[in-house]
Structure 1
Amino acid sequence: MYRQMLSALLVGVVVVGVLEMGVADAKPAPPQVAAMADALKYLQELDKYYSQVSRPRFGKRSEYVAPADDTMMEASERILESLSRRR
């Protein structure tokens, strides 16, 4: 029984060692690293360009149109009159 447990432990250690070796060798090739660096540099420059050229749009697409000052004043006077009548 101990012999089977020892064999299973040994097989497990060997499997883990082989898997660790395989993971360590999984590095990208130097041309891929250079291409990735070029792509990142391009994206940074593109972001810098668009942040200088574009403007934020605050409220441009709003469907709400504020009423004129006179309309607001008349509405508030009507509300005050209706409240004063209730008392």
Structure 2
Amino acid sequence: MCRVSQMWAAVVVVVVLVVATDLGAVAEAKPDPSQLANMAEALKYLQELDKYYSQVSRPRFGKRSDYAMPSGDALMEASERLLETLARRR
């Protein structure tokens, strides 16, 4: 019985040591400088691309609209018909 408890104690000590050494290695890990440089270059490229497209392209508001605005008289007639219809329903 004493040997079994000693064996379990040894297993627990080994597990604690392994976990402690793994956590120490993770805390000291630093990113690769070449990856940071590549990321910085990619961000700079994307910023320049955004700047280029914001200067070259323009938003197009209403240039290709299929809806044609009716004349003022047509709008007045339509609103008068609508008012007459509403007045009849009351």
Asked if TM exceeds 0.5, the reply is yes
1:48 aligns with 2:54: no
Deviation of 1:70 after TM superposition, in Å, equals: 2.0
Superposed CA deviations along residues 8-40 of structure 1, whole A, max 9, x for unmatched, are 431222221232244334631x33332222222
Deviation of 1:71 after TM superposition, in Å, equals: 1.9
Letter matched to residue 13 of structure 2:
L
1:35/1:70 CA distance change after superposition, 3 Å: same
Letter matched to residue 75 of structure 1:
A
1:65/1:27 CA distance change after superposition, 3 Å: same
Give the Cα separation in 2 of the matches to 1:50 and 1:59.
21
1:59/1:12 CA distance change after superposition, 3 Å: farther
Deviation of 1:2 after TM superposition, in Å, equals: 4.7
Q: CA RMSD in A?
A: 2.8
What is the aligned residue count? Answer: 86
What's the % identity of the aligned pairs? 57
Query: What residue ranges of structure 1 are gaps of 5+ in the alignment?
Result: none
1:68 aligns with 2:71: yes
Q: What is the match of residue 15 of structure 2?
A: 12
Deviation of 1:55 after TM superposition, in Å, equals: 2.1
Q: What is the match of residue 85 of structure 2?
A: 82
- Equivalent in 16, 32, 36 of residue 35 of structure 2: 32
Please give the TM-score of this superposition, normalised by the length of structure 2: 0.63
Give the Cα separation in 2 of the matches to 1:20 and 1:6.
21
Give the Cα separation in 1 of the matches to 2:86 and 2:61.
36
